[in-house]
Chains A and B, each alone.
Chain A
Amino acid sequence: MAIVRTERHPDLPPPVTQTGVIGWLRQNLFSSWFNTILTIVTGYVVYHAVYAFLDFAVINANFVGTSRDDCTLDGACWVFIKQRFGQIMYGFYPEAERWRVDVGYVLGAIGLFFVLSNVVKSKIWPAVYLFIIYPVICYFLFYGGLGLEVVETSQWGGLFLTLVLASVSIFVALPLGIILALGRRSEMPVVRMVCVGFIELIRAVPLISVLFMASVMLPLFLPEGMNFDKLIRALVGMSLFSAAYMAEVIRGGLQALPKGQMEAAKSLGLGYWQAMGLIILPQALKISIPSIVNTFIGLFKDTTLVLIIGLFDLLSVVKAGTQDADWLGLASEGYVFVAAVFWVFCFGMSRYSIWLENQLHTGHKR
């Protein structure tokens, strides 16, 4: 009988309609008649929206020129951003001194790189640099002193001021938040009450009212003659505000630790601060890093609110620019640009926080 086949038939490749580009399209865009309609309708809408945006921002936009008259106004007038770029970045910081801000950025970026990435094993020295040495350098670099010309804080502005506001606030809020979180979990009723009262009060009211309080009421609280400038008052408000949120994030981290950690530390004879500093906080802070980054993103976005109390951060510099008589009618360009800058920063940070979360959860991943 010759019809019996003795060798195995070789595996056929899967049908073309199931793999490759066609397979992907069929599976993800045209899997049923309903999906097909959905794809076509949304595709049409998206095409028009994207085209309209590109038309505005790129195709019909003007990039070259020095004044509003150089713009055809069929699309975006990016000349406006280009002309104001120095102010958007540094505010009214004297042009001859702007290199100091750039040096500050570079020094900070170096520190951040070593603290945030995992290039180096031990993070102690980068942390000491970033949290102790760097702030001191920045003070002299940005403000002046030690032979550098003094630049008053009223001249600070633009993206520079936004970054200063965000980083100083987080720098103050983190330790304050840790203390508040520990206080909230303390067994001493008085300490607990003070901390809970502060945290809940601050979290219940909007940041604007805290900023108003800092800018209007702080001068009333202080003895005559003692007066801070506007920036410091805003910083006080923002730091206290973010400290309350930070405290809740860290409390979450503390609560996530099993009770056995503290008990084990105590049974080894460690005191409260020893146990906290050596056993509890390192673990609790480690779990809460992603949430701390998220709080920081929120804080970074919230820095725009200083516009209302009259500081010239990135948003208010652009807003002032759009109201300039020479550049009227360019609100869209200005706000789209500000939105893009903030988006890049915040999106970058949120991606970092996701990456970090994956790094930290190596043990539990399936």
Chain B
Amino acid sequence: MTVDVPGMSEGAKVSPFRDPKVRALFFQILVIVTFLAFVYYITDNTITNLEKRGIASGFDFLTQNSGFDIGIVLFVDYNAQVSTHGDVLLIGIINTLAVSLSGIIFATIIGFIFGVLRLSKNWLVNKIAAVYIEVVRNIPLLVQLLFWYLAVLLELPNVRDSAKIGESIALNNRGLSFPSIVPEVGFWIIPVAFLIGIVATVFISRWAHKRQDETGQPFPVITTGLGLILGLPILAALVAGMPFGFEYPTMGRFNISGGWVVKPEFMALFLGLSIYTGGFIAEIVRSGINAVSHGQTEAANSLGIKPSITMRLVIIPQALRVIIPPLTSQYLNLTKNSSLGTAIGYSEIVAIFAGTSLNQTGQAIEIIALTMLFYLTISLIISVFMNWYNKRIALVER
């Protein structure tokens, strides 16, 4: 028996208003039109505004003379009289990368130490780690930065009364100064030896891995590697007859000349960033280690594996899988947070390029766009690298 359902028999004709495809198409066209109209509206306004205020556009300003001094310049030459806004951009990028990279390394070390301490069976140690994590994570980074800079580093004694270790390492309100290494003829052999040490360690670790897979014989890669990386340069230096000298900082009444000086701005930003991010990384490490099921430890114990090896070969590799993705976003956060250096006068990209250069040229759109482009690129590079690393250590399933 067939039942006639009214409306169904003639091939389900749907009115175009109720057809999902038509609706989707209509809606998307609406979105495009609105979006384009919005872009047109603001572009039009911007052009009128720029003309009215007499602000130039385009990227010519990058070749114009900047004419202001920069507090911290690393690796490149900068001179306010001849250097351009393009150089300012470059220095901003170098300074941002310098503080971010050193911050990432130090934050990772702090984070892993406190993450493990947080799991300690010793009540006191455990609670100290907990207090550190809870204090650091719940206070805004900017407050911490200003505290380190204005309340700690700038309150240090002045040059004359600086705190000294030996005669040449001194800490005062101008920064931390220590002797610089001055290369002499034949200095190149030391960095070369260092590089050879790294390459050799990579090969040895591969060989050791292979041998362990085949024969089960372990090889002390870490000690050998450290020995090679540190020992080879020292050996090279001895063989070449110490091809370098030291330049010691000399303390004047108010200033220090010679030697290397870590400026308080850099130190404050570096300390603030790594201590703040370290707290977050510690939580990530703790939860990553907790995520490895207890059966893994028990299984390793029942096989008679030493606790230190259990940690290194059983727990950590599995915990890393949980740790890496959130760690990536912490690294990204640290890099983005380095922009807060502008509040304490560290010469990073936002402070000197999106700050001083912008005020001088008035070309807000180009400068903000370039700054954002820089951060976009960095974010992209870090996430691509960490995704690659994550894939490498990911669980290999059948």
Contact = CB atoms under 8 A, between A and B. Distances in A.
Contacts of A301: 139-141
Contacts of B28: 188-191
B328 interface: no
Contacts of A297: 138
Interface residues of A, number: 56
Interface in A184-222: 187-191, 194, 201, 203-209, 212-213, 216-217, 219-222
Interface string B42-83: 100110111010000000000000000000000000000000
B235 interface: no
Given A206-B339, A216-B368, A217-B368, A342 B138 contact: yes
A39 B143 contact: no
A338 B145 CA distance: 12
Contact of B364 (A35, A205, A207, A216): A216
15 contacts: A28-B122, A29-B123, A35-B122, A42-B128, A188-B31, A191-B31, A206-B336, A209-B375, A220-B46, A220-B49, A307-B343, A331-B150, A335-B146, A335-B147, A346-B137
Interface in B338-381: 339-340, 342-343, 350, 354, 358, 364-365, 368, 371-372, 375-376, 379-380
Contacts of A291: none
Interface in A25-54: 28-29, 31, 35, 38-39, 42-43, 46
Given A335-B146, A346-B139, A224 B48 contact: yes
B169 to A, nearest CB: 23
Given A308-B343, A315-B140, A190 B32 contact: yes
B138 A204 contact: no
Interface in B129-152: 134-135, 137-144, 146-147, 150-151
B158 interface: no
B395 interface: no
A206 B354 contact: no
Given A35-B121, A46-B128, A224-B48, A209 B368 contact: yes
Q: Do most interface residues of chain A lie in helix, strand or loop, or is the interface mixed?
A: helix
A343 B138 contact: yes
A328 B141 CA distance: 23
B45 A223 contact: yes
A302 interface: yes
- 7 A-B pairs with least C-beta separation: A28-B123, A346-B138, A206-B336, A301-B140, A331-B151, A190-B28, A204-B379
Most buried by A among B27, B124, B342: B124
Contacts of B128: 42, 46
B144 A188 contact: no
Given A201-B376, A206-B375, A191 B27 contact: yes
B364 A217 contact: yes
B24 interface: yes
A335 B24 contact: no
Nearest to A337: B143
Contacts of B52: 224
Interface string B326-337: 000000100011
B247 interface: no
A302 B140 contact: yes
B365 A343 contact: no
Interface of A: 28-29, 31, 35, 38-39, 42-43, 46, 187-191, 194, 201, 203-209, 212-213, 216-217, 219-224, 297, 301-302, 304-305, 307-308, 315, 319, 322, 329, 331-332, 334-336, 338-339, 342-343, 346-347, 350
Contacts of B137: 346, 350
Most buried by B among A31, A208, A221, A336: A208
B32 A212 contact: no
Most buried by B among A190, A191, A194: A190
B121 A305 contact: no
B161 interface: no
A318 B255 CA distance: 30
A307 B343 CA distance: 8
A149 B371 CA distance: 42
Contacts of A342: 138-140, 143
Nearest to A348: B138
B134 A212 contact: no
Interface residues of B, number: 54
Most buried by A among B27, B358, B372: B372
B125 interface: yes
A46 B130 CA distance: 13
Most buried by A among B121, B125, B146: B146
Given A42-B122, A206-B337, A220-B45, 13 more contacts: A29-B122, A38-B122, A187-B24, A204-B376, A204-B379, A220-B49, A224-B48, A224-B49, A319-B146, A331-B150, A332-B155, A339-B139, A347-B134
A124 B146 CA distance: 43
Contact of A305 (B123, B142, B144, B358): B142
A332 B147 CA distance: 7
B35 interface: yes
Contact of A194 (B35, B42, B49, B138): B35
Contacts of A304: 140, 142-143
Contact of A208 (B122, B140, B154, B339): B339
B355 to A, nearest CB: 8
Contact of A39 (B49, B124, B337, B350): B124
B342 A208 contact: yes
A305 B340 contact: yes
Nearest to A43: B124
Contacts of B368: 209, 212-213, 216-217
A212 B367 CA distance: 11
Contacts of B342: 208, 308
Given A208-B342, A343-B138, A346-B139, A335 B150 contact: yes
B122 A205 contact: no
Nearest to A300: B140
A205 B121 contact: no
A335 B50 contact: no
A57 to B, nearest CB: 13
Contacts of A187: 24
A294 to B, nearest CB: 10
A42 B124 contact: yes
A298 to B, nearest CB: 10
B124 A46 contact: yes
A319 B344 CA distance: 12
A347 B124 CA distance: 21
Given A212-B368, A220-B364, A346-B139, A339 B343 contact: no
